Amino acid sequence: EDKVVQSPLSLVVHEGDTVTLNCSYEVTNFRSLLWYKQEKKAPTFLFMLTSSGIEKKSGRLSSILDKKELFSILNITATQTGDSAVYLCAALRWGSNYKLTFGKGTLLTVNP
Amino acid sequence: SAVISQKPSRDICQRGTSLTIQCQVDSQVTMMFWYRQQPGQSLTLIATANQGSEATYESGFVIDKFPISRPNLTFSTLTVSNMSPEDSSIYLCSGQSGNTIYFGEGSWLTVV
């Protein structure tokens, strides 16, 4: 059975701090690792990582995938209160049973 | 990118009734999926909506309870049948466009 584990489950930081969110996966026919940000609405797409060792960046957010060790990290630098959200990691299985399996998420709270 | 619209966005339903959620994508997508997110939980895949044929259900979900239609490449419906309070949840439609999987805003159902 496909499995995605995120850590920590929750995190409280102060504005300006840097945070690292972790995601490990065990997925048959793994294709890609996706990160989403979820506030009160539906998940908003952040990154899709398919190749190992190539960092993707978007503003203060960056992410990288290690396909040998089966994990990914999401970094947020100079955090702001608007970064407060649940960050979801999901592993994409390819092939006839194409499927996205989600972790439980990391609840990030950024205090002013 | 793809913009995914869901209707209704929110509803309160009586126990024993059924409700159909509509999902409309602004462009053709290869794959469409339906997820459930129960309070405080992550996303769980209900089924893959296949165009012109029966949906593919995940373990624990059956067609009689969650009938799904997908008549074309941009539209799908999910019906939650014979609802009970345990069905109170957010139901999310998603679609694959290019290398990304996008989500609708979700339909928040409360069963009383």
Q: Mind listing the pLDDT tens digit for each residue in A21-73?
A: 999 999 989 999 999 999 977 889 999 999 999 999 999 999 999 999 999 99
* Cβ separation B101–A98 shorter than 8 A: no
Report if residue B60 sits inside a domain.
Answer: yes
Preceding amide of B85 cis, omega within 30: no
Residue B50: what pLDDT? 85
Residue B74: what pLDDT? 94
Cα–Cα distance, B24 to B32 (Å, whole number): 10
Mean pLDDT score, B12-24: 97
How many structural domains is chain B composed of? Answer: 1
From A80's Cα to the closest Cα of chain B, the distance in A is 23
Amino acid, single-letter form, for residue B97: S
Full residue range of the structural domain in which residue B107 is found: 11-111
Residue A40 or A106, more confident: A106
Residue A44 or B22, more confident: B22
Backbone region of residue B73 per phi and psi (left: phi > 0; alpha: psi in -120 to 50; beta: other values): alpha
Residue B40: what pLDDT? 82
Report if residue B71 sits inside a domain.
Answer: yes
Indicate whether B36 pLDDT > 90.
yes
Mean pLDDT score, B33-60: 90
Residue A53: what pLDDT? 93
CATH number at residue B40: 2.60.40.10
Report if residue B66 sits inside a domain.
Answer: yes
B 45-84 → A contacts, CB under 8 A = 45, 48, 58
Cβ neighbours of residue B98 closer than 8 Å, sequence gap 6 or more: none
Interface check B44 vs A, CB under 8 A: yes
How far CA A5 is from CA of A23, B50, B77, B82, B101, in Å, comes to 6, 29, 30, 33, 20
How deeply is A62 buried, as exposed, middle or buried, from its count of CB atoms within 10 A (0-12, 13-18, 19+)?
Answer: middle
Report if residue B68 sits inside a domain.
Answer: yes
Indicate whether B81 pLDDT > 90.
yes
* CA dihedral sign, ordered B17, B12, B85, B59: positive
- Say if domain A3-111 classifies as CATH 3.40.50.2300: no
Residue A40: what pLDDT? 79
Domain ranges of chain A: 3-111
How far CA B104 is from CA of A12, A86, B58, B75, B107, in Å, comes to 28, 17, 20, 12, 9
Indicate whether B75 pLDDT > 90.
yes
Q: What average pLDDT is seen over chain B?
A: 93
